[in-house]
Structure 1
Amino acid sequence: MDRAEPTGFEVLGPLRVQLGPAEPELGFPQQRALLALLLVRVGRAVPADEIVDVLWPGRPPASALNVVRRYAGSLRRLLEPGLPPRAAGRRIAGGADGYLLAADEDEVDLLRFRGLARRAKRAAATGRPEVALRHFLRALGEWRGPVAAGIPPAVREHAVFTEVERELVRTAVMAADAALLCGRTREVLPHLRRALGLDPLNESVHARLVLSLAAAGRQAEALAAHESVRQTLSRELGVAPGAELSAAHTRVLRQDVRPADAAPRPEKPPGPRVRPAQLPHDIERFTGRYVELRCLRTLLGTDGGTAAVLLTGTAGVGKTALAVHWGHELAERYPDGQLHVDLRGFDPVAEPLHPAEALRGMLGALGVPERRLPSGPDALTGLFRSTLSGRRMLVLLDDAFDTEQVRPLLPASPGCLTLVTSRRGLSGLVTAGARPLRVDPPSAADARDLLAERVGRDRLAAEPAAADEIVGLCGRLPLALAAVAARAADRPDLPLATLAAELRLARGTFDALAGVRTAFATSRRHLSADAARLLRLLARHPGPELTAEAAGELAGLPVRRTRLLLDELADVHLVSETAPGRFARHPLLRTVAIDPAEA
C-alpha cells in the first residue's frame, strides 16, 4: 500500500483516519458525518437518500445531493492523495445513487470488533468461556468512547450510529456472561460501566454488573449497585426492577455467586448434571418441508448464535412436527439435553399453561429439588436461567398462546436454542430477537407424499385422480390428510374414490374430519365477537380471495374497522394477506365457518 494512503480508520470513539504517520483534518462537520456514516456501513453501499436523511435530521436543503457529491469528492482526495481529478478511486465508490467505502477488516476498528465478537460467540456457543472471554475483551478493547464522536450531535443521534452503540452494549453483556463462567469478572467491570454510560437504564447490563461485582468479592458494592438502579427506575420510569435484575439481586442475597478466588462450599458438593431428553419421537419417514428446513438451517447459521426461532401457522399445518423433526436434527449440537413443554395455548379443553407451572416442570427435569423452588414467578425465571447458564440445551415450547406466556421461559445462556410454535404471530418475541418462520400448507406434491407414506404408494398409484382430489379437499393440511389416512388404514378395502366422495359430502358438516374441525374451533374461540362474526360471513364469499373493502361490505362495517378484524384473523392464521389489501382463507375454513353445529 502507498504510504500516503490510509492505514487505519476509527469510528468506535472519536472519528479518526491515520494517513501514514499523519492524522489529517477531516473537514467540515457534515463531511466528517458522511465519512462516519460510510464507516459504520463499511463495505455496503449507502443510498443517497439515506445519506441526506442522516446528515440533515431536520429539513434538508434543496441542494443536499449536490453537497453530498462535493463532500464525497473531497473525501476521495483526502483518502487518496494524488488522485487525478474526476478519477473514481478505490476507496469511495459510487455517485448520485449512493456511496460505498471499501476497506479491509484490519483497517477499520468496527470490522475488527465484529470479527472478534463473532469468534467469541462461536467459542461461547461451544462451551469454551475462557476463549470466548479472551476474544470479547479484545473486541471491547477497540471501543474508545461514544461512536463517531466529533460529528454534529444531532447527526450522531441517528439510529445508524445508536445501533452500533447497542451492539457494543450487547457485547459487554455477553463478555460478562463468559467472565462469570470462568471466574474473571474483574476484567469486564470497566466495560459494563461504559455500557451503562451509553444505556443507563439497561437492566441486562445492571444485572451483569451486580453479579460481576459479587463474583469479584465486592458484595456490598453489588447490593449498592442494585439499590441505585432500583431507585432510578422508580424515580424516572415508575417501575420496579424486572425479572432479570431481580434474579441477580436474589442470587447475591443468597450468596449464590461465588467469588472467583473462593473455595468450593463443602455443604453443596457438585453433583452430576441431569441431562433431560424430552423431545417427542420424530415422525417415522418424515417427508417434505425441504424449503422450511433449509430456511431454518440458514436462520441458525453455522455458529449457533440464534437464541430463539418462532414457527407460526394455522391449526393443523404441521408446526410441531417440523419443530420436533428439526430438533432431532439439531440434538447433537446441544449435548446438555432437550426440554419440551406443551404450553396448551389452543388446547380444546385445558387453559393455557401458566409460565410458573412450566418453569417448575423444566426445573424438575433439570434435577432441581422441589424444596429449592422459589414461589414467585420472577424468582423461578431467575433460577431457570441460572441453572442453564453455561449449558448448551435445546428448549421446545409448543403451542404458545402469547408473548407474555413465553418470555419468562426463555433461557439467557448464549449456548441455548429455543424453538417456539404458535398459531399467533407473537410480534413481541420477534421484536425481542426471535427469528420467525411462517409454516404454510405443504405443496401439492409434498401433501401427496405425506398421504402416500400413510396409505401406501401402490394404493395411491392405483387411483391417482382420487388421491389428488383428497389432497385438494383437505386443503393440503397435514392434520386433515392424517385423519383421512387413518380412515383409509382402517378400511384397506375402501376405494380412495369413496373416501373422496365422503369428503365432498362432508362439506358443511365436517363429520369426516372432526379433529380438524376442533383444531380450527379452538383458534376461533379466542377471537373477539366481531372477528368471529366476520369469519362466518367470509364463508359466504364465493371466491378464494377478497379485498378489505369487499369484506367491509359483507360485514356492514367501515373499511378501517374491517381491516383491524382481518388483522386479528391473520394473527391466528385463519386468513392470510396474499397481497397488500387482499385476503384469502384456507380452503377448509369455509367448512369450519358454516358448520351448522357452530351456528
Structure 2
Amino acid sequence: MKFNLLGPFEIITEDGRSYTPPTPKVCQVLALLLTRPKEIVPVDSFIEELWGDNPPRSSLTTLQTYIYHARKTLVTEALAGPEEKILLTRNPGYLIDLTGHRLDTREFEEMVKSGRRAADQGSLEAAARILGDALDMWSGPALANISTGRLLAGQRTYLEELRVRAVERRIETLKLLGNERDLIPELRALVQQYPLNEWFHAQLIESLSTCGRRAEALKAYRDLWRSLADELGIEPSPEVQRLHHEVLNPVTRSGRAA
C-alpha cells in the first residue's frame, strides 16, 4: 500500500486502486497515526485532535470504535491481509506499522534531503531535478479532503513549510544554473499564491531586472509594497529595499551607476 497525505488523503492499493475511508473521524485517526509513523500516539492526542477542549464523556469508547473501524476497513477493502498487523495497540495509545508499505510524506522528506545534498556537492542539475520530482508529489494542500483538529492542523502547517523551503531551494539551484528567464512565470505564480512571502517577491524582482525588464521589476516591487502596507502596515524588508535601489540605480560593467 501507499498512504498519501500530500494532497487529498488516500490509500493506494497494490493494484493501483485509490480508497479513502468514508467516515471523517476514521480518516482523522488514520491521518494522525500516519503523521507519526512508528511512533506511539497517546490516547490523549487522539482525543485532543478529534474533540479539542470539549471531549464527550464517551470519548475513549468512541475512539476505540474508530480504531476498530479503521482496522476493519484495512481488511474489508483488501488493503491489508487478515493476519497483517498494521494498526497496533501499544500503551498508552496506538501505533501504525508501515513495514513493507509507503508513505508520501516520508518519501518527500527523503527526496528533499537528497536534493539538498546534491546541491551542497555541486551537482546542481541533479539537485534541481530531485527537488522538482519531490514537489511533483504534491497534488494540493496536505490533507485537503478531511477536517483537521489542532494536531493535524499543525502537521499541515509543518508540511507546507517544508514544501515552501523545497521550492526556495529549487529556485536557488535553477538560478545558479542561469535559468533566470525560465523562472519568471513560476515566480509570478508564487507571488500570487504567497502574497506576503518577501523572498518570492525578491526573486521575481531580481529575475526581471537581470533579464532587462526593469519596469516590470519596479512594478513588482510596488505590488509587494502595497500588499504589505495594506495587509500589515509595514514596508518591505531592508534587503528587498536594497534590491529596489539596485534596480533604480543599475551598475554598469565599469562599476558606475547607469
Please give the range of the TM-score, normalised by the shorter of the 2 chains: 0.7 to 0.9
CA deviations over 1:169-191 (Å, ceiling 9, x no partner): 11111111111111234358548
**Structure 2 vs 1, CA of residues 10 and 195 (structure 1 numbering), >3 Å: closer, same or farther?**
farther
Quick check: 133-142 or 214-223, which moved more? 214-223
Cα drift, residue 217 of structure 1:
6.2
Q: Are the counterparts in 1 of residues 49 and 152 from structure 2 also a CA contact under 8 Å?
A: no
Q: Paired residue for 2:124?
A: 129
Residues 77-476 of structure 1 correspond to what in structure 2 (within 5 A)? 77-81=72-76, 84=82, 89-95=84-90, 97-103=92-98, 107-152=102-147, 158-185=153-180, 186=182, 190=186, 193=189, 197=193, 199-214=194-209, 219-254=214-249, 267=253
Partners of 1:43 and 1:221 lie apart in 2 by 50
Q: Paired residue for 2:52?
A: 57
In structure 1, give the amino acid aligned to 2:85.
R
Partners of 2:164 and 2:203 lie apart in 1 by 12
Partners of 1:73 and 1:48 lie apart in 2 by 14
Q: Paired residue for 1:41?
A: 36
Cα drift, residue 51 of structure 1:
2.2
The answer on 1:14 being equivalent to 2:8 is yes
Cα drift, residue 78 of structure 1:
2.1
Partners of 2:146 and 2:239 lie apart in 1 by 36
Q: Are the counterparts in 1 of residues 225 and 235 from structure 2 also a CA contact under 8 Å?
A: yes
Specify which of 66, 72, 79 is matched with residue 71 of structure 1. Answer: 66
- Count of residues in Structure 1 that have an aligned counterpart in Structure 2: 252
**Structure 2 vs 1, CA of residues 57 and 131 (structure 1 numbering), >3 Å: closer, same or farther?**
same
Cα drift, residue 136 of structure 1:
1.1
Secondary structure of 2:175 counterpart = helix
CA deviations over 1:480-531 (Å, ceiling 9, x no partner): xxxxxxxxxxxxxxxxxxxxxxxxxxxxxxxxxxxxxxxxxxxxxxxxxxxx
Partners of 1:91 and 1:218 lie apart in 2 by 56
Q: Are the counterparts in 2 of residues 203 and 244 from structure 1 also a CA contact under 8 Å?
A: no
Cα drift, residue 148 of structure 1:
0.4
Question: Where in structure 2 are there 5+ consecutive unaligned residues?
Answer: none
Q: Are the counterparts in 2 of residues 69 and 96 from structure 1 also a CA contact under 8 Å?
A: no
In structure 2, give the amino acid aligned to 1:166.
E
**Structure 2 vs 1, CA of residues 46 and 224 (structure 1 numbering), >3 Å: closer, same or farther?**
farther
Q: Are the counterparts in 2 of residues 189 and 212 from structure 1 also a CA contact under 8 Å?
A: no
Structure of higher RCO (CA pairs closer than 8 Å, 6+ residues apart): 2
Partners of 2:62 and 2:54 lie apart in 1 by 14
**Structure 2 vs 1, CA of residues 101 and 153 (structure 1 numbering), >3 Å: closer, same or farther?**
closer
Q: Are the counterparts in 1 of residues 9 and 20 from structure 2 also a CA contact under 8 Å?
A: no
Partners of 1:109 and 1:195 lie apart in 2 by 26
Aligned-residue RMSD, C-alpha:
3.2
Which is richer in helix? 2
**Structure 2 vs 1, CA of residues 109 and 211 (structure 1 numbering), >3 Å: closer, same or farther?**
farther
Secondary structure of 2:222 counterpart = helix
**Structure 2 vs 1, CA of residues 228 and 77 (structure 1 numbering), >3 Å: closer, same or farther?**
same
Q: Paired residue for 1:393?
A: none
Secondary structure of 1:35 counterpart = helix
Secondary structure of 1:100 counterpart = strand
Partners of 2:249 and 2:122 lie apart in 1 by 26
Cα drift, residue 140 of structure 1:
0.9
Q: Which has the larger radius of gyration?
A: 1
Partners of 1:112 and 1:167 lie apart in 2 by 13
Identity %: 30
Partners of 1:104 and 1:254 lie apart in 2 by 59
Secondary structure of 1:93 counterpart = strand
**Structure 2 vs 1, CA of residues 72 and 236 (structure 1 numbering), >3 Å: closer, same or farther?**
same
In structure 2, give the amino acid aligned to 1:16.
E
Partners of 1:105 and 1:252 lie apart in 2 by 54
Secondary structure of 2:19 counterpart = coil
Partners of 2:53 and 2:228 lie apart in 1 by 32
Cα drift, residue 142 of structure 1:
0.9
Partners of 1:189 and 1:73 lie apart in 2 by 49
Cα drift, residue 104 of structure 1:
6.0
In structure 2, give the amino acid aligned to 1:36.
A
The answer on 1:23 being equivalent to 2:21 is no
CA deviations over 1:375-409 (Å, ceiling 9, x no partner): xxxxxxxxxxxxxxxxxxxxxxxxxxxxxxxxxxx
Q: Are the counterparts in 2 of residues 172 and 192 from structure 1 also a CA contact under 8 Å?
A: no
Q: Are the counterparts in 1 of residues 218 and 247 from structure 2 also a CA contact under 8 Å?
A: yes
**Structure 2 vs 1, CA of residues 213 and 62 (structure 1 numbering), >3 Å: closer, same or farther?**
farther
Partners of 1:108 and 1:75 lie apart in 2 by 17
In structure 2, give the amino acid aligned to 1:11.
L
Cα drift, residue 74 of structure 1:
1.9
**Structure 2 vs 1, CA of residues 35 and 234 (structure 1 numbering), >3 Å: closer, same or farther?**
same
